[in-house]
Amino acid sequence: MTPANCAFFQIEAQFAGGVLYNRLMRFTTIFFDLDDTLYPSHVGLWGAIKNRMNEYMSERMKIPVEEIPKLREKYYLQYGTTLHGLRNHHNVDVQDYLAYVHDLPLDNYLTPDPALRSILASLPTRKLIFTNADVPHAERVLAALNLRDLFAAIVDVNTVMPYCKPMPESFDIAMRIAGETDPSRCVMIDDLPRTTRAAKQVGMSSILYGETLANGDADASLSDWNELVGILEKIS
């Protein structure tokens, strides 16, 4: 039986310190969030993107500056993203918005992490990006991080429109693109508790990146990518 049709995969990966992992796990697909997950939040890129969102709403859509923070919070809580709120209530040009908010010099924020690349490359599962950003932004980020060739596909905001994470319909679409029919064979890794919680609710396993685990928001939390293989073994 080949890895493609086996419910269990052999993991054999050498990491720093000479520790050899050789275990079995049931997962066949791992979905990775992009921003503030595949790079650390302290680099400031996501903060710069949020500033571009504010600028777009003010300069392109003529929304009063004082109303923008309240609107963004409302739309984020109600729809999952600012964009979906603007789409539903303001007739925003979606592609123009996405191009504007992601128009940033990524080299000022991102550098490749060879250790992360080695860890991701060692995983024998399908690996997909699942992001509320768009494909062009994801492609640029992955290129800046030297990770693009490790991912089979990018599931972006346009792919799952009119849904987005953490809506359950978006997970259904992501699974279909991955060729999965059983959510229990999938893992979602994300920095937002509401996304990892939603993944659990649709039957996936989930790992919360960079946050303290609380209230059953995920099956595990991850702060160091060197812990990933051990966590996957533990929750299998």
Q: Dihedral through CA 85, CA 201, CA 42, CA 101, nearest 10?
A: -20
CA angle (175 as vertex; 29, 211 as ends), nearest 5: 65
Report phi then psi at 192, rounded to 5.
-105, 125
pLDDT in tens, 25-54: 789 999 999 999 999 999 999 999 999 999
Q: Express each pLDDT in 211-220 by its tens digit.
A: 788 788 999 9
Domain extents in the chain: 3-40+112-235, 45-106
Q: Is the pLDDT of residue 15 over 90?
A: no
- How far is 86 from 72, CA to CA, in rounded Å? 9
pLDDT tens column, 50-75? 999 999 999 999 999 999 999 999 99
Can you read off the two tokens belonging to residue 42?
């302290």
Average pLDDT estimate for 199-212:
94
| Per-residue pLDDT band at 9 (split at 50, 70, 90) | very low
Under CATH, which number does the domain 3-40+112-235 receive? 3.40.50.1000
Q: Of the CATH numbers 3.40.640.10, 3.40.50.720, 2.60.40.1170, 1.10.150.450, which one belongs to the domain with range 45-106?
A: 1.10.150.450
Q: Is the pLDDT of residue 86 over 90?
A: yes
What Cα–Cα distance (Å) separates residue 203 from each residue in 29, 36, 75?
Answer: 13, 24, 26
Question: Looking at per-residue confidence, does 22 or 218 come out higher?
Answer: 218
Q: How many CA atoms lie within 13 A of 133 on its CB side?
A: 26
